[in-house]
Amino acid sequence: MSAEEQMLIIRRNDFLEKLYPADFEQLNILHNYIIADKDAYVYFDAQYLNKLYFLKQGFIKIGNIDDNGEELVKEILQPGDVFGQFMLERHNMHGEFAQAHKCETILCAFTITDFEKLLNLRPDLAIVFSRKIGQKLKNVENRLLNLLQKDVRTRLLYFFYNLLKTNKELSASSARLPNFLTHEDIARLIGTTRQTVTTLLNKCEEDGLLHFDRKFITIHDIKLLQKEAKVG
């Protein structure tokens, strides 16, 4: 892939597209361009990680390994998301891993030092970045409340509602989203079992609420989904 093609991909990010040519030189963007093969780890134990990553293409699974060697999935990220040391702190991510999920993934990675230099030169970008991180933290808080306060079916529907919101598909009456999730992925993200997710998805399909297959997630009635997910 040529440098010109890499720059076109990089500029599709909602944050990186705001950079000036001088900013790209400051961050040495092309040097920080990463392609991760399917299932490859971007990092495994992030205790000493000092980098910030912007996801350009593909999907990233974020999680930890518990004391029994089981994988605990915290989130699955889509293009436009930021991860790594997004709080611009060091040595606070012991045990976290980031793995390319389902397909080849393209990233931009910056050291915290280089990124902080950029924000000092571009205060306007600092504001944009703080809003982006604020929304990320709000999503984490909403997910926690969802796990604590809602039954499994409602958690499942709320999960799909958030997928629609992330993809800005709330204005239509129905929607079809590319599917990058398995039943197991969803089960881990909403705190239940794969069998329960399969049973609930089958029931949702019988009720005409949604259709889930390997390629697409089809929501037949967004307003009904919002009501059933108990979105305020």
| The token pair that represents 228 in the structure block | 């059933």
Is there a domain that residue 144 lies in?
no
The reported pLDDT for the residue numbered 91 is: 63
CB-based contact 42:34 (threshold 8 Å)? yes
Would you tell me how many other CB atoms lie within 10 Å of the CB of residue 209? 18
| The token pair that represents 145 in the structure block | 């409340």
105 and 180 co-located in one domain: no
The reported pLDDT for the residue numbered 123 is: 92
Would you tell me how many other CB atoms lie within 10 Å of the CB of residue 113? 9
87 and 164 co-located in one domain: no
- Residue 42 sits in a domain whose CATH number is 2.60.120.10
21 and 69 co-located in one domain: yes
The reported pLDDT for the residue numbered 193 is: 94
33 and 125 co-located in one domain: yes
- Listed residues 73, 100, 134: the one ending a domain: 134
100 and 176 co-located in one domain: no
168 and 102 co-located in one domain: no
Range 149-160 burial, b when 16+ CB lie within 10 A, else e: ebebbbbbbbbb
20 and 103 co-located in one domain: yes
Is there a domain that residue 139 lies in?
no
| The token pair that represents 157 in the structure block | 């529907």
Task: State which residues form the domain around 11.
Answer: 3-134
Residue 216, phi then psi, degrees to nearest 5: -140, 155
102 and 161 co-located in one domain: no
**Nearest CA among 34, 5, 29, 33 for reference residue 18:** 29
pLDDT averaged per 10 residues in sequence order, the chain, 232 residues: 67 80 80 90 82 92 85 88 84 81 91 90 91 86 81 93 78 86 93 95 93 93 90 72
Verdict on whether the full-model pTM lies above 0.75:
yes
Cα–Cα distance, 65 to 73 (Å, whole number): 9
Is there a domain that residue 125 lies in?
yes
- Count how many domains the chain has: 2
Residue 55, phi then psi, degrees to nearest 5: -85, 120
78 and 18 co-located in one domain: yes
Q: How far is CA 26 from the centre of its chain?
A: 26
**Nearest CA among 143, 87, 135 for reference residue 115:** 87
In the 3-class helix/strand/coil scheme, how is 144-173 assigned residue by residue?
Answer: HHHHHHCCHHHHHHHHHHHHHHHCCCCCCC
- Residue 161 sits in a domain whose CATH number is 1.10.10.10
